[in-house]
Structure 1
Amino acid sequence: MLYIKDSAFKQQKLSAWQPILTVGTVLPTFFLIGVAFIPVGIGLLISSYQVQELEIDYTSCEKREITQIHDNSTTLCSEFLAKHPNGNCSCLIDLELDADYRRDVFIYYGLTNFYQNHRRYVKSRDDYQLLGHLRAGRECSPFAHRIDPKDGILKPIAPCGAIANSLFNDTFQLERLVFDASNNPGYNEVPLIKTGIAWATDKNKFKNPPIPKGSNSLAAAFNGTVHPVNWPRNVYDLDPSDPNDNGLQNEGFIVWMRTAAFPTFRKLYARIRHDINEKDVSYQEGLPKGKYRLLIQYNFPVAGFKGKKRFIISNTSWLGGRNPFIGAVYILVEI
């Protein structure tokens, strides 16, 4: 018989030390931890405020086309949409960057008083459908089925649910003021990229349905479905500028489907294109200072829930975007 020598370890009788907590030991420990938090908090605050950011509230922007720059019209897009829900409204906003924004520069949109965290709103989606199976589950009700106005047939909505139905659909075009050799002013469009803005973990949850044999069109994959009632276009036409960024795998759609925890939030809209080529060589180091104008296609109504809309230009630090909250918490803990 194999004999295993007995030991304190086997008998769970190892010696141990249990500190006795007293005022004299606890207070100095807390003080030292608090002192250590001060430089950490200051470092986090400095890093946060190194992020360059420009934020513009365009909720009440005036209806104005590029050809109406000198028009004195005072019609607000918010008022126009309230009277004409299916109408089109564009507005122009002049802005100026007082410093060069170092790369990488991102474009965000922000909403205020929009509760994406509402219990019924968060549940109003069909994750099985988002993986490319074109059914509409009852969790999407009342945004699961509707009659297709083209043929009068009741069809499943793709994508279904309240989250998809309320997709943010304002569009932005940023243009920079430049001068030619004769010192004549003009505007050049800032190149934007609408891919690479969604988390990889989120992109894995969205798949387009397979395209039928004999077709090379994504539209054929969505036959037998109808787009959400609040959408002006089909899901396979979300990004006309990039045929690979359409359907359920459209990154702007994926970003929107990640619901925000608070009623005031921002979401990534696009990235400034910084790669080097003849067209946008001036943006390889970032976004140059100077005067710009912003053309907005104003589609998303916010007056009904007393909300506000914001356009944000920002870059990042090693910590991410501007967020002084973490640094402030570290300093407050010490205090």
Structure 2
Amino acid sequence: MATSSETSEQNVKSRRPAESAFKQQRLPAWQPILTAGTVLPTFFVIGIAFIPVGIGLLYFSDEVKEHVIDYTQCLKEGENITCADYIKRTAMEHCTCRLPFNLTEDFKGDVYFYYGLSNYYQNHRRYVKSRDDSQLLGRLSPVPSTDCLPYAFAMEDGVEKPVAPCGAIANSLFNDTLTVFSHISNSNVPVLRTGIAWESDKQIKFRNPPGDLKTAFANFTKPENWRVNVWELDPNDTENNGFQNEDLIVWMRTAALPTFRKLYRRVDHKELGYSTGLAKGSYELIVDYNYPVTDFDGTKSFIISTTSLLGGKNPFLGVAYVVVGTLCLLLGIVLLVIHVKCSKRLYPPMSQSYLINEEPENNKPK
């Protein structure tokens, strides 16, 4: 008859893992044997491959021409006060500043205008989530997504209305107007407001509601920090309004780092005098200054740039390849020297006399 202790032992579940190759850790495994014959060639191959690639990347990066203008503290036109201080004192009243500059060489090929911001954390988790993707696809709802709070509703004429587009990203849309005046042609440089957004974003992620935009957005209000309605973002092109406005689409693609630039305009090379690019000479940047950045110690800049086969100017990747390749070559040489020296010390060459006097055991006289 079984005792109570034996019965309790039988009732206790075994904690032994199931009898399988995975749970019993019997899976076949492979690991490289690190020897001088395998490690040293790897270092030399990486070094020889990476250095030319890095030099090529640096060459293409240096081919890109850039001109950067920091206009954060530009002076209000006709007054001795910065626009940053002026809009702070006057509750965002309109401010214009002008910054003359010279291009010392021709910018050949396609020329692009960018705006740059620093110390601006678009990658903050709550900021990135603060949008309504369903709304941006043209599916308007009287109750926006809770992710948009507290930028989901706003007052208009004493009535609370849903905001379109809602959220912190849309509410903080960059709204400086940047114009380049050419003293060569005595006119503004012609630019295109379209063709600056990713085609995949414009075709897949952003859609306008059907029908007339003003009618479709009649029961909605604009974001609190906007000065115009969503259907008035581009007064010159009705197709570039609403959620498919390319300035809005570019801004809604949040940056990963606190210092970033976004494409603002493309120079229209179909216009007379700009078919080959932007000629060297005297220019003037005219800024309608609306966007405050000094409160968070940020800066604003305007960038004129060309492109290469690899895109814009970015020397980091080329420098990284050259540095890694050089380090691998140096490590390979150092390890090779150590290997040769240690091999001689551990296995000294046998003298010739030792080889002659040494006799096999079976040849010795008995």
Query: Which category describes the TM-score, using the shorter chain as reference length?
Result: 0.7 to 0.9
Partner residue of 1:190?
Answer: 189
Spell out the pairing of 1:130-279 with structure 2 (5 A cutoff).
130-135=136-141, 136-149=144-157, 152-178=158-184, 187-203=186-202, 204-211=204-211, 217-275=212-270
Distance 2:32 2:123 in 1: 44
Larger radius of gyration, structure 1 or 2? Answer: 2
Partner residue of 1:301?
Answer: 292
Distance 1:87 1:267 in 2: 25
Deviation at 1:81, TM superposition (A): 0.9
Deviation at 1:40, TM superposition (A): 0.7
Taking structure 1 as the reference length, the TM-score comes to 0.85
- The alpha-carbon distance between structure 1 residues 302 and 19, as it changes in their structure 2 partners (threshold 3 A), is closer
Which segments of 5 or more consecutive residues in structure 2 lack a partner in the other structure?
A: 1-29, 328-366
Aligned partner of 1:54 among 67, 72, 75: 67
Q: Aligned Cα RMSD in Å?
A: 1.4
Is 1:108 the counterpart of 2:114 in the alignment?
A: yes
Which segments of 5 or more consecutive residues in structure 1 lack a partner in the other structure?
A: 1-16, 65-70, 180-186, 212-216
What amino acid is aligned across from residue 170 of structure 1 in structure 2? Answer: D
Partner residue of 1:183?
Answer: none
Distance 2:32 2:139 in 1: 59
Partner residue of 1:75?
Answer: 81
Distance 2:67 2:105 in 1: 11
Partner residue of 2:280?
Answer: 289
Runs of 4+ in 1 over 6 A off after TM superposition: none
Deviation at 1:170, TM superposition (A): 0.3
SS at match of 1:316: coil
**What does the per-residue CA deviation read over 1:220-272, in whole Å, with 9 as the maximum and x for residues that have no partner?**
12110000000011010011122211111000000000000000000000000
What amino acid is aligned across from residue 207 of structure 1 in structure 2? Answer: R
- The alpha-carbon distance between structure 1 residues 19 and 261, as it changes in their structure 2 partners (threshold 3 A), is closer
SS at match of 2:238: coil
Indicate the percent of aligned positions where both proteins have the same amino acid: 55
What amino acid is aligned across from residue 225 of structure 1 in structure 2? Answer: F
Deviation at 1:20, TM superposition (A): 4.0
The range that moved more, 28-37 or 119-128, is 28-37
Distance 2:153 2:267 in 1: 38
Deviation at 1:86, TM superposition (A): 2.9
Partner residue of 1:316?
Answer: 307
**What does the per-residue CA deviation read over 1:175-218, in whole Å, with 9 as the maximum and x for residues that have no partner?**
11137xxxxxxx2111010100000111120111111xxxxx42
Q: Which of the pair is proportionally richer in helix? A: 2
Distance 1:20 1:139 in 2: 52
What amino acid is aligned across from residue 281 of structure 1 in structure 2? Answer: L
